[in-house]
Amino acid sequence: MEARPQGAPAGRSGDGAPARPVADGRTEPERVAVTPAAAELLRMLTGKHGPLMFHQSGGCCDGSSPMCYERGEFRTGDSDVLLGELRIDGVPDPVPFWMSAAQFAYWSHTHLTVDTVPGRGSGFSLEAPEGVRFLIRSRLLED
Amino acid sequence: MSRYAAPGTDGALMSYQPRYDHWIGGSYVAPKQGGYFENPTPVTGAVFTEIARGTAEDVERAIDAAHAAAPAWGRTPPAERAQLLNQIAQRMEAHLEELAVAESWENGKPIREALAADIPLAIDHFRYFAAAIRSQEGSLSQIDEDTVAYHFHEPLGVVAQIIPWNFPLLMAAWKLAPALAAGNAVVLKPAEQTPASIHYWMSLVADLLPPGVVNIVNGFGAEAGKPLAASARVAKVAFTGETTTGRLIMQYASENLKPVTLELGGKSPNVFFDDVSAADDDFLDKALEGFTMFALNQGEVCTCPSRALIQRSHYRGFLDAGVARTEAIVQGHPLDTDTMVGAQASNDQLEKILSYLDIGQQEGARVLTGGVRAELGGELEGGYYVRPTVLEGGNDMRVFQEEIFGPVVSVTAFEDFDEAVRIANDTLYGLGAGVWTRDGARAYRAGRAIQAGRVWTNCYHAYPAHAAFGGYKQSGIGRENHQMMLDHYQQTKNLLVSYAPQKMGLF
């Protein structure tokens, strides 16, 4: 699998990642969005920490959850796929949402929505001390 | 049935303090920034203690204390360290029930598991590494008649350990025992979901430990875990958790050129060949228990057998019996001795499990039993309970590929040996696996073909010390639970010694 192009996404108002054009003229479907509660949390965390990023985790314990870091804290590479750049009203920089390419191979048929729930952690994700946790809600991609 | 009294109530075997600071240098130290966070029990959702919210300043102080203690501790005779580990084991054994109550209340696990597994295994782990260090030998190589290479084991110095929340005390024991045996001083960060039981453990053993040899810094990953993992002043980081944090810890370690051991979970296949059903006997009964092992510890086990692969020729009969066994699980108050499945460890864990039950059904998985939150009512109303769940579907579904970390098994059929191995290996992970068959040769071939660090063969979820445990593929790096773990906590010092009086003749 190839990493998806990281070209600047077309503008769109509201919260979420816009659909992106791909080379052959088709439109790459939106893969990731945020709920209003997650957008509010991202606004708050941006105020505290500056530009942010997500990397979707897999595995044990707090795995299968999106981890939120200061942008650049977690180094992505050729083994990762950029699923989208979340545009949040009131957050200057889009928030990129990454996943390992190997994991994406099993996730690519689903659309992800970043939500929040009351919780306790964990990993090194930035929201845990606020008593909340980012959570992925999924649905099947329609195409 | 009997029920243990909740900590701090009438008749309770133990009680928690209302607050825990950091344990640094042999005493409790308040957090530099003065913050605390509430610690709820997943049994009822009620807060039972508050915990210091550690930051980088607290981590630095703990690392200072560990460095102060490490040189003298590293020079103690192995027999002395073995003695200390045996004393810890003895103290724990004398308080086994109290530790089990503490762990059950902290984590939500059924006390019968804590009494039968978590705490006895933790005790044995200290004894095992006492024996391992006592009997460890260096080596020497005779290079030539007058030249000898001596190989000594030396401790690394100060090591960092980040403990998961699914077996708070047992996972701490898995990491502490080899590190201490090898002569290291430790800075340990418990999970923020389960930070308290390790402090109760410390209250039992503190007088045995030289100050600074074990330090406990509490707090959140972002605030206390990161400065610990990223510190240039720790010689090694050991972590059990998930892949993104594992990568981040490796990234920090690479900046300091430090080693790591990582245990990052799995999606373990449990393979049932058709000869399992050839007789209605003890072995079939054992295999059905093996199927139901997905519910052990509420499924919050890195090796949870969360994919059951059943040969088509006995698929329906075996699966029906497995569902019946699942429905016989007693779910209830974790402190009841009859309870088999207790509470999930946290609210976010509960929510994550429910989100997977949702996407699994969207993908077409059929719910054969369970599939919903368990509303147990009464004082358990605020707790985090999920009905043990059997899903039926295909291996490309996300519920077959991602660690749900709940009492959920995803079941699919296979035709023959080759397909069983192909499906078993069609996963990013390779931590555990199970193989069930009456045919020893088939069991051997399957066990060798499955890419996983541990293949339970005609058993599951046994964790004896002296059996190496660790992952293939994305499940991590290193092997715990075995004397080879000492290698992960030791340097090799080679003295290359010449006993010859003659010069080499080059200069």
The tens-digit pLDDT sequence of chain B (507 residues) is 699 999 999 999 999 999 999 999 999 999 999 999 999 999 999 999 999 999 999 999 999 999 999 999 999 999 999 999 999 999 999 999 999 999 999 999 999 999 999 999 999 999 999 999 999 999 999 999 999 999 999 999 999 999 999 999 999 999 999 999 999 999 999 999 999 999 999 999 999 999 999 999 999 999 999 999 999 999 999 999 999 999 999 999 999 999 999 999 999 999 999 999 999 999 999 999 999 999 999 999 999 999 999 999 999 999 999 999 999 999 999 999 999 999 999 999 999 999 999 999 999 999 999 999 999 999 999 899 999 999 999 999 999 999 999 999 999 999 999 999 999 999 999 999 999 999 999 999 999 999 999 999 999 999 999 999 999 999 999 999 999 999 999 999 999 999 999 999 999
Superfamily grouping for domain B269-457 = Aldehyde Dehydrogenase; Chain A, domain 2 (3.40.309.10)
- Supply the ipTM of this predicted assembly: 0.94
**Exposure letters B116-151 (e unless 16+ CB within 10 A, then b):** ebbbbbbbbbbbbbbbbbbebeeeeeeeeeeeeeee
Q: Which runs of consecutive H residues, i.e. helices, occur in B307-402?
A: 315-327, 347-362, 398-401
What pLDDT is attached to residue A1? 35
Angstrom distance (rounded) from CA A28 to CA A44: 30
Q: Which domain holds residue A101?
A: 29-140
pLDDT of residue B381: 92
Q: What is the pLDDT of residue A59?
A: 85
Identify which has the larger pLDDT, B151 or A4.
Answer: B151
Task: Report whether B115 contacts B169 (CB < 8 A).
Answer: no
Q: Taking the mean position of all CA atoms in its chain, how far away is CA B134?
A: 25
Whether B406 and chain A come into contact, CB under 8 Å, resolves to no
How many structural domains is chain A composed of? Answer: 1
The answer to whether residue A11 is domain-embedded is no
* Pairing state between β A32-34 and B307-311: unpaired
In this structure, is residue A3 part of a structural domain?
Answer: no
In a domain, A16, yes or no: no
Q: What is the residue extent of each domain of chain B?
A: 20-38+47-264+475-493, 269-457
Searching chain A, which residue's CA lies closest to the CA of residue B55?
A129
- Residues of chain A contacting B474 with CB distance shorter than 8 Å: 58-59, 102
Q: How far is B50 from chain A (nearest CA, A)?
A: 13
- CATH architecture under which domain B20-38+47-264+475-493 falls: 3-Layer(aba) Sandwich (3.40)
Helix ranges, chain A (H)? 36-49, 101-107
User: Which B residues in the span 421-460 are in contact with A, Cβ-Cβ below 8 Å?
Assistant: 428-429
- Would you say residue A9 lies in a domain? no
Kindly report which listed range (A59-63, A116-120, B154-158) carries the lowest average pLDDT score.
A59-63
Select the residue of A67, A110, A119 nearest B245 (Cβ to Cβ).
A67
B193, closest residue in chain A (CA to CA): A120
Q: Which of B193, B222, B240 is nearest residue A129 as measured by Cβ atoms?
A: B222
Any idea which residues of B carry the catalytic annotation?
263
pLDDT at position A10 over 60: no
- For A42-53, the pLDDT digits (tens) are 999 999 999 999
B-chain CB neighbours of A124 within 8 Å are 221-222, 225-226, 229, 245, 248
> How far, in Å, are A19, A34, B355, B403 from residue A113 at the CA level?
14, 5, 11, 18
CA of B225 vs chain A CAs: smallest distance (Å) = 7
Q: Suggest the residue from B167, B170, B348, B398 to mutate for an interface test with chain A (most A CBs closer than 10 A).
A: B348
Give the model's confidence band at A120: pLDDT under 50 very low, under 70 low, under 90 confident, else very high.
Answer: confident
Cα-Cα-Cα-Cα dihedral sign, residues B70, B76, B77, B82: negative
Contact B215, B25 (CB under 8 A): yes
From the list A122, A135, A140, the residue facing B355 with the nearest CB is A135
Would you tell me which residues 83-102 of chain A have a C-beta closer than 8 angstroms to some C-beta of chain B? 100, 102
Give the rounded distance of the alpha carbon of B391 from its chain centre.
Answer: 25
Q: How confident is the model at residue A20, as a pLDDT?
A: 52
Q: What is the pLDDT of residue A2?
A: 36
- Per the model's pLDDT, the better-predicted residue between A120 and B320 turns out to be B320
B476: left (phi over 0), alpha (psi -120 to 50) or beta: left
Q: Is residue A19 part of a domain?
A: no
Which residue has tokens 């978590």? B118
Q: Do domains B20-38+47-264+475-493 and B269-457 have the same CATH topology?
A: no
| A62–chain B Cβ distance below 8 A for any pair | yes
Neighbouring residues of B202: CB distance < 8 A, sequence distance ≥ 6 = B23, B214, B216
B302–chain A Cβ distance below 8 A for any pair: yes
Alpha carbon separation from A99 to A72, A76, B334 (Å, rounded): 14, 9, 36
Q: Would the CB atoms of A74 and B244 count as touching at under 8 Å?
A: yes
C-alpha to C-alpha distance for A106 and B469, rounded to whole angstroms: 26
CATH code (residue A94)? 2.60.300
Amino acid type, B271: V
Q: Are strands B472-473 and B429-430 parallel, antiparallel or unpaired?
A: antiparallel
Contacts 24+ apart (CB under 8 A), B171-176: B171/B240, B172/B122, B172/B198, B172/B201, B173/B121, B173/B122, B173/B123, B173/B125, B173/B126, B174/B125, B174/B480, B174/B481, B175/B238, B175/B240, B175/B480, B176/B214
Question: Is A94 a member of any domain?
Answer: yes
Q: Is the pLDDT of residue A23 over 70?
A: no
